[in-house]
Amino acid sequence: MTPVFADIAASALRAFHDSRLGAPTAAEAPHGEAPHVWHWIDVNHRCNRLLWDEEDLARRTSVAAAQIVANKRAIDTYNQQRNDAIERIDELLLARLEGVIVAADAWHNSETAGSIIDRLSILALKILHMDSAAQRAGVSAEQRAACRDRHRRLGLQRDELGGCFDTLLTQAAKGAAFWRVYRQFKKYNDPSLNPQP
């Protein structure tokens, strides 16, 4: 990994995501001006964990509708914070490339580095939950085998995506690839854009 991104290789992200899976997920709001990319990687991962939990709760059929509404509102809030964190990650990583001259024939990566970090976070969650599903009491041997196979495939996907991430950063540091910050412009958290009262 190039020195400008030495601290943020896919292996470091994997270790960080896995280490945070058992940590508390306090629903605190992210700090708006934190200058360190790892702060925003942490915010992104925390939001993904909170989203996963809220989405599980929103699928319940044995609770009052008001509880599902509360889950949906929480999902919208965490999703906004998640997307804001992705944008901050991209801004901070791109700032590290300020002096790099991008070649005229450089590869324009359609997915941002921040979006790849987000996907790696989600894969860490999928791997954790698939492992739990494979170990759950009362499931058939066939279901255990299917979950173990899915767990293996998810691990392979994470390894391959991590390789793509490392390649993007290495090529970007040479000026041979680039990405842009893509703004999500989520409407549902902006009362001025929501068409419903």
CA separation for the pair 142, 139 (Å, rounded): 8
84 burial type by CB count under 10 A (0-12 exposed, 13-18 middle, 19+ buried): buried
Residue 57 lies in a domain: yes
Residue 187 lies in a domain: no
Of 191, 189, 196, nearest to 80 by C-alpha is: 189
| Residue in this structure with the two tokens 């842009």, named with its chain if needed | 180
Residue 192 lies in a domain: no
Confidence of residue 188 (pLDDT cuts 50, 70, 90): low
* pLDDT at residue 185, as a whole number: 66
- What value does the mean pLDDT take over residues 49-68? 90
Give bridge partners of residue 177 from the DSSP assignment.
Answer: 107
Q: For 62-102, write each residue's pLDDT tens digit.
A: 999 889 988 999 899 999 999 999 999 999 999 999 999 99
Q: For 111-148, write each residue's pLDDT tens digit.
A: 999 999 999 999 999 999 999 888 888 888 899 999 99
Give the three-class secondary structure for 108.
strand
Residue 177 belongs to what H/E stretch? strand 177-178
Q: Is the dihedral of CA 130, 131, 137, 141 positive or negative?
A: positive
**Contact (CB, 8 A) for 109 and 178:** yes
Q: Is the per-residue pLDDT at 27 higher than 60?
A: no
Alpha-helical runs (H) found in the chain: 10-20, 37-58, 65-95, 113-135, 141-174
Please state the domain count of the chain: 1
Residue 185 lies in a domain: no
Q: Which domain holds residue 49?
A: 3-178
Residue 189 lies in a domain: no
Residue 196 lies in a domain: no
Residue 184 lies in a domain: no
**Contact (CB, 8 A) for 106 and 127:** no
Residue 188 lies in a domain: no
Give bridge partners of residue 108 from the DSSP assignment.
Answer: 178
